[in-house]
Structure 1
């Protein structure tokens, strides 16, 4: 009898650990205890884009303020919209596409020079990010930078070290898409 109880306890503990891990990875079980908080930088990443600043701003803002394409709607869902800020859910494939992480963030727009993101719910307790747009020659220089914070001292730092590279890779892929679309739009003939 004791053996069955021990096996059951191990199975329950293992299942709970697996469920907790999946909850953290997908953002379904956010852990924000405010104890032992450690922060690390995200970026900076600089990208020069051969398009005017207003075009780059519009490309970044369109999924939030404008009409999004079907492909974008699968990744970004605006939950609440104000005049200069939205609350949006972002869906990102993780674990080689076997899981989907959902983060909820506020996105604030300061036209035409800045877009700020603040995590509300996700795999870590806190993330702040910004895209700063400055004129650069005939185009735009986009600078991405931010900060990712975790709780629980070294354990949280370990988790942040796992999350941050994936977070930055997702942002880097988004920036490439922004550059391609902004440069495509700026090469189109302008209508009078």
Structure 2
């Protein structure tokens, strides 16, 4: 009967590890132990957009500060809205769409040159990011950059690399969508 106890313990440990991993991936379990913090850069990513800076700023800010379009509700839910600061949930499909990572971030708007993001809850304990918009020729240059922090030394750094790769890919997709929409608005 001792083997049954060991089997039960092993199953419970395996189930606990699986639940912990799922919690990390989805952002439901966000440990912030403050020990062994490692910081890594995010970006920079630069994109030139053939649209005025005010138009680009509006494309990014409107879903947060105004009504979130129906098409974006699968990606964004604004929890609290102020005149220049919001608290928002972002939904990112992972694992081939089988799971969704939920991050909660504050987003601060400094029209028309800057948008700052700060992670409140997610798969890592610390993320700060910014979109800096500058006039560039007849259009706008948008530069994305930030920092991602993880705890627990090397293990956290490993996890941070995994998260950062997906995070930066998601940002690249968002920047491409901003470019497309801003340039579409100018063509109209």
User: If the length of structure 1 is used for normalisation, what is the TM-score?
Assistant: 0.97
Q: Counterpart of 1:48? A: 48
Q: How many residues are aligned here?
A: 188
Q: Counterpart of 2:62? A: 62
2: CA distance, partners of 1:67 / 1:89: 14
Contact kept, 8 Å, 2:104 with 2:122, in 1: the verdict is: yes
Structure 1: gaps (5+ residues): none
Structure 2: gaps (5+ residues): none
Contact kept, 8 Å, 2:36 with 2:152, in 1: the verdict is: yes
Contact kept, 8 Å, 2:65 with 2:82, in 1: the verdict is: no
> Is residue 111 of structure 2 the alignment partner of residue 111 of structure 1?
yes
Q: Secondary structure at the match of 2:96?
A: coil
Cα displacement string for residues 102-150 of structure 1 (whole angstroms, at most 9, x for unaligned residues): 0000000000000000000000000000000000000000000000000
**Could you tell me how far 1:22 is from its partner in structure 2?**
0.2
Superposed CA RMSD: 0.5
1:2-151 residue pairs with structure 2 within 5 A?
A: 2-151=2-151
User: If the length of structure 2 is used for normalisation, what is the TM-score?
Assistant: 0.99
Query: Structure 1 segments of 4 or more deviating over 2 A?
Result: none
Q: Counterpart of 1:187? A: 187
Contact kept, 8 Å, 1:63 with 1:73, in 2: the verdict is: no
1: CA distance, partners of 2:4 / 2:134: 66
2: CA distance, partners of 1:18 / 1:153: 21
